[in-house]
Structure formats: structure tokens, C-alpha cells
Amino acid sequence: MNGKSLRLEKLFNKSDNAVIVAIDHGMFDGPIPGMINLQETAKKINPCVDGVLLSPGMLKHLRPAFNSKGAPMPIVRLNWSSVYCFHWNYNQAYTVIAQTVEEAVANGAEIVLVSLTLQTGSEKTDTDNVKVYSRLVNDAAKLGIPVIGEYFPTHSGTISKEQMHEQVFSSCRILSELGCDMIKTFYTNDFKKVTESCPVPVFGLGADKTPTQVEALQLAYDEIRDGARGVVFGRNAIQIPNPAGFQAALCDVVKNNLSPRDAMEKHGISDEG
């Protein structure tokens, strides 16, 4: 079994499905509530979680969080895109490499994430984005490092549900055709078509903070029901009163098919934001 296969087996070794907690928001937003001090944030991550998504510069500061037996796997985001900078009114999705695969692995990354945005309205921007994506994916393949390909559309907060689905449906297949081992993307109104059309595992993301924790768990439940092999939750798994308890409930929903209400009751989670 090669290095990539061993890492993929490790990610899914606790279940057929995986739970990843994202704490890379500072890469685009700067410090946000719940992620002001990432060392403190890392202490609130439950060991039942399979992976933690980080920005390139943070792994060296948080290395102790990944040193113990059974700790989550460190996953490093490699490219920076203006598509995430809503607060600056950016949406053109210009993309640059923030860290090479070699640099990320040298710092301890076991999996890398590479994002791609298409249908920007500019052939040059789309082509440049594919160039960055393909370079990083191919570099990771040479080193035996698994890649999570992420599809993130422009104007994600304002496009219709139908437009979101059309972009996610077509572009996730393109991600896999260009080469990746897993995919992270938005949950759509026909998500089962997305998961059925991709030859690699698809993770549903948590997106915006939901008003209540049961809604966040319901989102995860729906994503798994519609064929996702896991979830990547950030704000919904961190910006809450008891992150470790919620993450335990999330793992039960994703890995053990527990209903959101039953998971909340089991882990003593109240129905609040």
C-alpha cells in the first residue's frame, strides 16, 4: 500500500465517513470569533474528528495538537483566492499558490486542499485557476499526498439554488477529471446527483453559521443521506458554546447515522446557536 492509500485509510479509519473541522478562516477573514487564538481553538477540537483544515502558516504553530495518538490529521489549504473575500467585495476568483506541496509536507501536512473556481466570466481567469489547481494536484500525486479538491463558485451568497446546483454539479466532475482524491463543496438542492456523478468521495461543507445547532446537524444529516462521505464544518463546529460536545454529536450523525435530535440529547447539546 502506497503513502497516499495509507493516508486515505487513516482519514476514514474510524468510519466509512469522515468529519473535518475547518479553522482556516483567518487566511481570508483575519481573526473571527471563536478563532482569535488558534491554539485555544485547537484545544476545543474533539479527538473523534478525523481531520483539521488549516492555512499554510498555522500548522507550525499548532503542531502539538496533531502529535498524540489518534489525533486528527492536519490538512493544509495550498492556494489563496479572492473569491472568499466577500468583505472586500471581491468575486473574480483570482488565485495564487500560497504554499507548495513540498513546503506543506515539510511542515507536517498529511493531506492538502486545493480550491478551484470556474465560470468567472473570464476565460483567462478560469484558465489561470485550472493551471494553479493542476500544478498543485500533480505535485501532490508525485509525493503520494491525497488532495481534497474544493469547488467554490463566484457570488455564492447571491446566486439562485438552481445556479448553485448547476455549477457544483458540472464543476465537481471537472475537479475529479483534473485529478483529486476527494471533493469539498456546497450542498445543493439536488446533491445526490453531484455525489453520484463523482468517482471520488464528496464532502459537504457547512457554509454560513446556522441559527441553531440542530439545523447544522440536520445539514450534515442531509448531506450524508444524499451520498456525501463526510462533512467539512467550520463556524458551525467552532462558534458555539460547547465545540467539543457539538463535534461529538456531529460525528455521531455523520458516522453512526444518529438523528440530529438524538445526537443532541446524547451529548447534552441545547437547541441554540
| pLDDT tens per residue, range 211-221 | 999 999 999 99
DSSP letters for 131-182: HHHHHHHHHHHHHT--EEEEE--TTTTTS-HHHHHHHHHHHHHHHHHH--SE
Q: Provide the pLDDT for residue 256.
A: 96
Residue-level pLDDT at 45: 96
Beta bridge partners of 42: none
Q: What is the pLDDT of residue 217?
A: 97
Mean per-residue pLDDT, 238-257: 97
- In terms of pLDDT, which residue wins out, 20 or 3? 20
Q: Taking a C-beta distance cutoff of 8 angstroms, is the pair 171, 129 a contact?
A: no
Residues 146-204 pLDDT 10s: 999 999 998 887 889 999 999 999 999 999 999 999 999 999 999 999 999 999 999 99
CB of 108 closer than 8 Å to CB of 51? no
**Pairwise CA distance, residues 116 & 101, whole Å:** 16
Q: How far is CA 161 from CA 164, 168, 224, in A?
A: 5, 11, 19
**pLDDT grade for 272, boundaries at 50, 70 and 90:** low
Residue 199 backbone phi and psi in degrees, to 5 = -80, 0
Q: Band the pLDDT of 13: cuts 50, 70, 90.
A: confident
Class of domain 3-266: alpha beta
Categorize the per-residue pLDDT at 32 as very low, low, confident or very high, splitting at 50, 70 and 90. Answer: very high
Residue 1: pLDDT over 70:
no
Using the predicted structure, report yes or no on whether residue 10 has a pLDDT greater than 70. Answer: yes
CA atoms of 131 and 154, how far apart (whole Å): 18
CB 99 within 8 A of CB 133: no
Instruction: Please count the CA atoms within 13 angstroms of the CA of 23 that sit on its side-chain side.
Output: 29
Task: Kindly state the average pLDDT of the residues 20-30.
Answer: 95
Q: What are phi and psi of 216, to 5 degrees?
A: -65, -45
Instruction: Decide if pLDDT at 273 tops 60.
Output: no
The per-residue pLDDT for range 101-160, each reduced to its tens digit, is 999 999 999 999 999 999 999 999 999 999 999 999 999 999 999 999 999 998 887 889
pLDDT in tens, 54-97: 999 999 999 999 988 889 999 999 999 999 888 888 888 999 99
The residue that leads in pLDDT, 214 or 272, is 214
Domain spans, the chain: 3-266
Q: 226 — phi, psi (to 5°)?
A: -95, 20
